[in-house]
């Protein structure tokens, strides 16, 4: 494997792994108060576009990183939506 590809995989690992603590924190606490839906929506779309780009140009480190990041970012987004709208439904029934 070329040095430049190893650099790509190292960068991909770091930026992708950065999402794991957020996902684990949400799963552990259920707290999504600090999550910006706007930011995660735009970010997730951007990652999907990067994934498409990586696929087109055949860049394996970029493809793998963006695939995993897309899964993790989507998980944060979906969990946030479920927690917030589930909480709103529960609050609506209490009134």
Instruction: Tell me if 62 is assigned to some domain.
Output: yes
Instruction: Tell me if 50 is assigned to some domain.
Output: yes
Question: pTM of the predicted model, to two decimals?
Answer: 0.77
Residue 62 near residue 54, CB atoms below 8 Å = yes
Instruction: Tell me if 79 is assigned to some domain.
Output: yes
Could you read off the pLDDT of 4-29 as tens digits, one per residue?
A: 888 888 888 898 899 899 989 999 99
The pLDDT of residue 1 is: 72
Q: Which of 25, 5, 3, 13 is nearest to 83 (CA)?
A: 25
Cα–Cα dist 26/76, whole Å: 8
Instruction: Tell me if 56 is assigned to some domain.
Output: yes
> What percent of the chain has a predicted confidence (pLDDT) above 90?
58
| pLDDT for residue 51 is more than 80 | yes
Instruction: Tell me if 72 is assigned to some domain.
Output: yes
- Please give the residue range of the domain that contains residue 61: 34-86
| pLDDT for residue 77 is more than 90 | yes
């Amino acid at each position: 494997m070329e040095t430049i590809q190893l650099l790509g995989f190292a960068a991909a690992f770091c930026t992708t792994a950065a999402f794991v603590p957020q996902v684990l924190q949400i799963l552990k606490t259920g707290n999504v108060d600090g999550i910006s839906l706007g930011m995660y929506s735009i970010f997730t779309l951007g990652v999907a576009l990067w994934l498409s780009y990586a696929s087109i140009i055949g860049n394996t480190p970029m493809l793998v990183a963006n695939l995993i990041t897309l899964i993790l970012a989507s998980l944060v987004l979906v969990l946030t939506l479920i927690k917030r709208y589930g909480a709103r439904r529960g609050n609506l029934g209490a009134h």
